[in-house]
Structure 1
Amino acid sequence: MSTPVDLIVERYHHALDAVVTGDSAPMKELISKRDDVTLANPLGPPVRGWNGVERTMDHAISHFHEGEPTRFERISEFIGTELAYIVELERTRVKIGGSDELSPIALRVTTIFLLEDGDWKVLHRHADPITTPRSIDSIIQ
């Protein structure tokens, strides 16, 4: 039997499939509009608040088109009464920018969901390309 969190994760995964085709609308429906919503994507620094999240998301998604459905590998999850999170690896292939070639993408992602007025919303998403071990030198800036 599916739980409400299972249903939001399923909707979230479908929204991510839309993202790699260049369609941000399904994801925007799922993201909280709270002042403390945050997004940390691989293309820039973290942003806080709906306006910054929307602007950052629009910029990133504008580069994607004709992507394939994403494959998800669940690493861990927690489901509480008002808060839930998932840690996953996301893998897909997508055409980026003006390219006609599909490029593989792999991301390590943590997503936090919050129950708002009876509806689960994405409160935080952090995605980075670290999906394999790296040397300690890789963190030096």
Structure 2
Amino acid sequence: MNRDDERTSDRDTFLTWVKTALYEAELALHNGDPAPRRALWSRNEPVSVLGAWRNATGQQELDKLFTALGKSFSDCTSYAFEVLAYDVVGDMAYTAGFEHTSTSVDGQPRTYTLRATQVYRREDGEWRVAHRHGDTVTE
């Protein structure tokens, strides 16, 4: 396999992970279960979230953030990640796109779209999220 074939294969494998494991973790979070999302995040520093509602840096803040989000989300009726761009370079990767979500936030049904960019590190052969930036799309 030449370098271009390896790169294409690595990108394809990463995108499959984004569309399966990462998607399922985000869906679980929006149904009130933060554990699958937390499991996909790096346990190595640095980690950070510049979120639509709250920010976090470091493992302790990340745990608090994901727990709080899990408590506020429930009854997700729709979640889709529209990937606009992504790439894999060695053991680093990124995604950029729109997250379209219909869920309940603190018991109130809400539908919203976030612009989301994430940075990933490959750790022990597995992809882990290291950084997330999300903000609400406004008309």
Superposition TM-score tier, normalisation by shorter sequence: 0.7 to 0.9
1:61 aligned partner: 70
**Residue type of the partner of 1:31?**
W
CA distance in 1, matches of 2:42, 2:16: 16
Between 1:52-61 and 1:116-125, the stretch displaced more is 52-61
Between 1:55-64 and 1:87-96, the stretch displaced more is 55-64
CA distance in 1, matches of 2:105, 2:56: 23
Q: Select the residue among 110, 113, 119 that pairs with 1:106.
A: 113
> Map of 1:113-124 to 2, 5 A cutoff?
113-124=120-131
Shift of residue 112, structure 1, vs aligned partner: 0.8
Alpha-carbon distance change, 131 to 32 in structure 1, aligned in 2, over 3 angstroms: farther
CA distance in 1, matches of 2:64, 2:134: 16
Shift of residue 122, structure 1, vs aligned partner: 0.5
For these two proteins, the number of residue pairs brought into alignment is 129
Residues 108 and 131 in structure 1, CA contact (< 8 A), matched pair in contact too: no
Taking structure 2 as the reference length, the TM-score comes to 0.84
1:75 aligned partner: 84
**Residue type of the partner of 1:21?**
N
2:97 aligned partner: 88
2:132 aligned partner: 125
CA distance in 2, matches of 1:15, 1:62: 15
Taking structure 1 as the reference length, the TM-score comes to 0.83
Shift of residue 6, structure 1, vs aligned partner: 2.2
Q: List runs of 5+ in structure 2 lacking aligned partners.
A: 1-8
In percent, how many aligned pairs have the same letter? Answer: 25
Q: List runs of 5+ in structure 1 lacking aligned partners.
A: 133-141
